[in-house]
Amino acid sequence: EPYVRELLEGRSERLDDLRKVMSVPKRSWLWESMNRALVEEIPQLSDDRFVQALPQILAYANEDPTSGAAVRAAVLQRRSQGA
């Protein structure tokens, strides 16, 4: 997913543009898919990439406290492994 790749690179321009153009419901398959992809990718990041991406990942996860919980849990798990 291009939006997930962008977040993992510490950017969010495409995602911000998507949000401006479309009103995607909070319970959309898009967010569910992004959450799953982030949860899978976060443990694989190098320490440097993790630290670089962390502000964008947390900003994304904190937009919806319920669906972002899995992403925040993945961040906490990753933090416990280093970085």
Which phi-psi region, left, alpha or beta, contains residue 67 (left: φ > 0; alpha: ψ -120 to 50)? alpha
Mean pLDDT computed over 21-41: 90
Angle between helices 69-80 and 29-41 (to 10 degrees): 10
Mean pLDDT computed over 62-75: 88
Mean pLDDT computed over 8-23: 89
pLDDT value of residue 67: 80
3-state secondary structure of 10: coil
How does the average pLDDT of the chain come out, rounded? 90
Give the up-direction half-sphere exposure of residue 39: CA atoms within 13 A in the CB hemisphere.
Answer: 13
pTM: 0.85
Highest mean pLDDT among 13-27, 34-48, 55-69 belongs to 34-48
Could you tell me the CA-to-CA distances from 33 to 12, 47, 48, 51 in Å, in that order? 16, 24, 25, 23
